[in-house]
Structure 1
Amino acid sequence: MITRFSVGRALGIALVGATALSFVGPAAAANYNWLTARGTDSGTVKAVLAVAEKFKQTHPDFGITVEAIPDRPAYLQKVKILATGNQLPDLFDADAEPYFADIVANGLVANVGAILDEVGITDKFYKFALDYERLDDGSLYLIPFEANTEYFWYHPSMFEKAGIEVPKTLDGILDACSKLKAAGLTPVSVDGKDGWPIYRYLSFPAFRETGNQFLEQLKAGEVQMNSPVGLASAKYLQDMGSSCFQQGFATANYTDALNLFTSGQAAIYYMGTWEIGTMTNPDGTLKDDVAFFTLPVIDGKTATKPTDFYAHSGIGTAIKAGSDTPELKEFLKFLADNFGDAALYDNKFMPSIKPTIRPDLAEIYKRALSDIEQVGTYVKVWDVKLDANTVDVLYRQSQLLALGEITPEQFAAEIDTSIQQYVSSR
């Protein structure tokens, strides 16, 4: 579970009687400290550091020191402590959520959008990757490093055994689950322990019905979860839980769910392109008996196109106000010319910065890059857009809903109460 906190009041107290930026200034040395929620073995960190080493050839004093805290709750707790104590590092990871918006409002980070425009590299990023990191007012204070799409991975042999084809609609997934179960197969593997993978299923119907309109209005308290769209979404998650998810899904973590699929014990696994390496051979071809399909539609609904689905750039990286030095800006310009290829070819992940498309690039990567280019409206992530307390409620109640321990109406009531409390407190 991702634990979040609101720092608006805490930062306000910390900065009473002082100028918000009184603690910052140019970096004391050419070494920049990066506090990251990624592991040091992540492709993103390795790619950034590889580019930094190359940059260092002409800028010998430049360096980036990484402190990694891949445990997300522990990471966010440390950022809270650093933010309230005016001790944020030069670079740190964050989502474009209400918590980070409070940090921005207190003037603690540099305007990334303005910096990218200043050094002339905005167009080198995939547009949606930048848009994903924007706050609700459209401002950009985070650098994206990834550009992911999400797919339903599946085993064709299991589909053949159950006598089914790739589902074309959301209801078709439920129908496929019934036939897979009847064939003695586990239909869907999902990580229920971490919460967010099951929120995806909650979000699918609302997105295909309204685009992101329902989520945006829900967050603002302008529409209720206890509405036709909200209840249909809640019911869909409950139906997935009863008909599709593996036994014990609520306590299964990310690795458990992934292994269940890759070992051939589940027919379908929904996950992003960051797992392409798991699904492919060393030469980039898909492993035997692995294929994928994109988010199905709802018959008769036109709010979104079939090419619209989950596409996002993951957690972004902020620059502390005052650390946006000329040298760092020069590095960002260098990064824009080198990171895309370092990410895609050396570290096998989809970059936010457009890479060179080489003739020998594996077809799966070409397909994913094509999807990235074509996506119009992408699904906004519920646990990023909703406030911290509501995300906690969402975590607890989604599990109960998927387990069939509460009704869609009870689920909706809990979500609506939490959002109203948040809206009233602002």
Structure 2
Amino acid sequence: MKKVADEYAQTHPGFSLNLITTPDRPSYIQKYETLAAANKLPELFDTDATPFAQQLAKQGKMVDAEKLLKDLGVYDSYRTNALNYQRFDDGSLYMVPFQFELEYFWYNKALFQQAGVSVPKSLDDIPAMCTALRKAGITPVALDGQDQWPLERYVSYQPFRDAGPDFVQKLKKGDAKFSDATGQKTVNWISQLGGAGCFQDGFSSQGYSDAQNLFTSGKAAMYNIGTWELPSLATDKLNPAVRNDVDYFTLPATPSSATAANEYVATSGIGMAVNSKTFDPLVSDFLKFALAKYPSEYAATGALSPTTNVQTTIPANATPLYKKAIDQAKDLGSKLAMPWDTQLDPTTNSRLQQELVLLAQGNVKPAEFTSTMDSTIAQNAPKFFK
């Protein structure tokens, strides 16, 4: 986007795009919420389609992105799933997507073979797979526990396969509970993953690069991450010792699953919102220019564009796995496994992330986790979902 903005500035003297950065996502969210409370949001700002963002939209602080994209004549070029990921519960669209990512389970074929395990046919197969890998002296799963959202992905998987995307929509409002059959399935599964030693020792204090290095060095058998990591996983940058052993599989599904095998986590990332208070002809003109230019610039970097009118450039140093992962987007179902950190109210989400670590470590029992989380949702959901 900086490159596009610099190009726009060449024909618009005095224009500049000033990017405000923060050290990490939690710091950004704190700054974003503080600026929103003070009514000092910048002209453009990043946000997920969270309950907090929906409140801003209801307060009239954000431009209707669907109308904006249609007015600019670019709406029809966007992937339906990319737009749907950014929508609020009522179907309204207030964020513009700037990326499109598919999330896979990357695995090391040689380590699987060494432990005598195969790609799991269902999520229920994974704890036993972890046990076998541990017995072979192999760390089963590399996990970034420090940032918390990667573990939160896991708690969303069983409900998505068991009941579909509606479960979290009901759960976050208190209309479904962790004590329900579907909720208990995921609570017990997370406990089983922890009990089977699926995640590396000390995972809760290890970060993003730790997890990535554990997998790319051939010390962990599996790594759940998105296509934004293709440059690290499917090019000649990957350690030659493991390069030919890396492959991926999608979220396991069975014939009885409520969602199809080609439906899993596909995100369009953190969207861009437009401040309605400062929206003027200059901002509109810049966005018209930027949204026409950006997709081709982005696709040229080897990434999946949120639009369908450009083709991803496969890097010259890519392995065959790179194109395979990109082409997977052509066979994607319509139901999305939404990351729960974008769905739950802030207080519930923070508590869930904390409790999941304790559950996976065996520090709390499933019954205790269930009681804590159902109580937390009951106390906090009404403040955001009325």
Q: TM-score, normalised by structure 2?
A: 0.91
2:324 maps to which of 356, 364, 367: 367
| Partner in structure 2 of residue 64 of structure 1 | 17
Q: Which structure 1 residue ranges, 5 or more long, are not aligned? A: 1-47
* CA 1:341–1:93: 2 relative to 1, 3 Å: same
Contact 2:235 2:322 (8 Å CA) reproduced: no
2:270 maps to which of 311, 315, 319: 315
CA distance in 2, matches of 1:136, 1:77: 23
CA distance in 2, matches of 1:238, 1:108: 42
| Partner in structure 1 of residue 247 of structure 2 | 291
Counterpart secondary structure, 1:66: coil
> For 1:212-291, what aligned pairs fall within 5 Å after superposition?
212-243=165-196, 244-282=198-236, 287-291=243-247
CA distance in 1, matches of 2:129, 2:144: 20
> For 1:174-185, what aligned pairs fall within 5 Å after superposition?
174-185=127-138
What is the CA distance between 1:312 and its match in structure 2? 0.6
CA distance in 2, matches of 1:145, 1:179: 41
Pick which of 335-344 and 84-93 moved more.
335-344
Cα shift readout 1:48-95 (whole Å, capped 9, x = no counterpart): 111222333443443211111142222122222211222111111111
2:46 is the counterpart of 1:93:
yes
Cα shift readout 1:159-179 (whole Å, capped 9, x = no counterpart): 111122222211222232122
Contact 2:104 2:226 (8 Å CA) reproduced: yes
Cα shift readout 1:109-160 (whole Å, capped 9, x = no counterpart): 2111110011110122211111111111111111111111101111111111
- Between the two proteins, the alignment pairs up a number of residues equal to 377
| Partner in structure 2 of residue 390 of structure 1 | 348
CA distance in 2, matches of 1:70, 1:102: 26
2:153 is the counterpart of 1:196:
no
1:344 maps to which of 278, 281, 299: 299
CA distance in 1, matches of 2:257, 2:140: 28
Q: Percent identity?
A: 37
Contact 2:231 2:237 (8 Å CA) reproduced: no
Contact 2:45 2:273 (8 Å CA) reproduced: yes
Contact 1:55 1:334 (8 Å CA) reproduced: yes
Contact 1:199 1:398 (8 Å CA) reproduced: yes
Q: What is the identity, as a one-letter code, of the residue corresponding to 2:347?
A: N
CA distance in 1, matches of 2:174, 2:237: 49
CA distance in 2, matches of 1:121, 1:251: 44
Cα shift readout 1:211-259 (whole Å, capped 9, x = no counterpart): 1121111112111111111011011111112211111112111111111
| Partner in structure 2 of residue 135 of structure 1 | 88
Contact 1:147 1:372 (8 Å CA) reproduced: no
> For 1:142-157, what aligned pairs fall within 5 Å after superposition?
142-157=95-110
Contact 1:336 1:353 (8 Å CA) reproduced: no
Q: What is the identity, as a one-letter code, of the residue corresponding to 2:274?
A: I
Q: TM-score, normalised by structure 1?
A: 0.83
